[in-house]
Chains A and B, each alone.
Chain A
Amino acid sequence: MRRDIFQAIADPTRRAIIGLIALQAMTPNTIAENFNSTRQAVSKHLRILTECELIKQEHQGREIYYSLELDKMKEIDDWLAQFRAIWETKFDQLDELLLKMKSQTKK
């Protein structure tokens, strides 16, 4: 399987899903209600998260509940978060520079 945990957290919607079900286990429908995207799109994210073994399914009666695999979450190394933080900071700085460049070209 090509997927790993880093792909799971690379997408903002998937990070939001992780944040949601960290609070409590949820059904796919309840999760989807929290997003503007289609159910289909949310299902795809859930599938990727499951393939990355970041979340797990539990059957309760006829419903499926998704919950977090907490041990797996901790596998996300510090260095990745650090590297991501560097890029986030750089790009925020570039946003500011582009704003400045735009206002200069308008003058």
Chain B
Amino acid sequence: METNLLFEFTVNKAEKTVYITREFAAELPLVWDAFTKKELLDQWVAPKPWSARTKYMDFEVGGRRFYAMVSPEGMERWSIQEFTSITPKTNFKMYNTFADAEGNPEMPGSAWDYNFSEQNGLTKVSITIFNESLARLEKMIEMGFEPGFKMSIDNLEQLLASLTKKSDLRF
């Protein structure tokens, strides 16, 4: 889909933090639901051809979401999210850890902070992801990036590829 919606993505390796901001062409309550209801989350959080399956989700402070990313071959990668703070339609925070199929967490995890705001019918979502170790940040990427997913081509990769070609011509 072609859109002009804001999308910012910053990695600060020194702070071990990823900053993501995205606008959505929908009212805040809809966007909030899409981030906080399991039946909606399962429809979008897995980058195709992966799918998401939430076993259970208690969206309340101290509650958990236990879910798997499922590969096209049926391989499951489990994670646990524990909600640490919720301000309805404004902010929620959670601590995310990888887990085995029985729900035993693999520490350390990452701390996620979601902020929601609406202006002129657009809803802005800002996400901050703090990882205790850079190695884990890289693992997080590996976990979400299997060979089957490489078909998703990133604009930036294309830009870099074209820049490299152009520089070969120039110099």
Q: Which residues of the other chain, B, contact A41 by a CB distance below 8 angstroms?
A: none
Q: B75 in the interface, Cβ–Cβ < 8 Å?
A: no
Known: A22-B166, A94-B34, A98-B30. A87 touches B157 (CB 8 A): no
Complex interface bits, A73-96 against B, C-beta within 8 A gives 1, otherwise 0: 110101111111111111111111
Q: Assign chain B's interface to a size class.
A: 35 or more
Let me know if B9 and A87 touch, CB within 8 A. yes
CB within 8 A of B11: which of A6, A12, A23? A6
B31: interface (CB < 8 Å): yes
Distance in Å: Cβ of A19 to nearest Cβ of chain B: 6
A76 in contact with B25 (CB, 8 Å): no
Bin the interface of chain A by size: 35 or more
**B13 and A76 form a contact (CB under 8 A):** no
Stretch at the interface among B44-52, B54-62, B94-102, B112-120: B44-52
Q: Tell me the bound Cα distance from A99 to B13 in angstroms.
A: 35
Whole-angstrom CA separation of A92 from B5 in the bound complex: 10
Whether A73 touches B9, Cβ cut-off 8 Å, given contacts A83-B18, A95-B25, A97-B34, is no
Q: Is the CB of A76 within 8 A of B1?
A: no
- B72 CB-CB contact with A under 8 Å: no
Complex formed: what's the CA distance from A98 to B13 in Å? 32
Please give, as numbers and ranges, the residues of chain A lying within 8 Å of B144 by CB-CB distance. 83, 86
Contact A85 B152 (CB under 8 A): yes
SS class, residues of chain B in contact with chain A: mixed
A86 to B154, CA, bound (A): 8
| A6 nearest in chain B by CB position | B11
Pick the residue among A10, A23, A78, A88 that contacts B166 (CB under 8 A).
A23
A4 at interface by CB-CB < 8 Å: yes
Is there a chain B Cβ closer than 8 Å to A55's Cβ? no
A70 touches B167 (CB 8 A): yes
Contact between B157 and A81, CB atoms less than 8 A apart: yes
Pull 24 A–B residue pairs with CB atoms less than 8 Å apart, ordered by A.
Answer: A2-B14, A6-B12, A12-B6, A12-B7, A19-B159, A22-B167, A68-B167, A73-B163, A74-B160, A82-B141, A83-B18, A83-B140, A85-B157, A86-B149, A89-B48, A90-B47, A94-B44, A95-B1, A95-B3, A95-B5, A95-B25, A98-B31, A101-B26, A101-B40
- Report B's interface with A, CB cutoff 8 A: 1, 3, 5-14, 18-20, 22, 24-26, 30-31, 33-34, 40, 43-48, 138, 140-141, 144-145, 149, 152-157, 159-160, 162-164, 166-167, 171
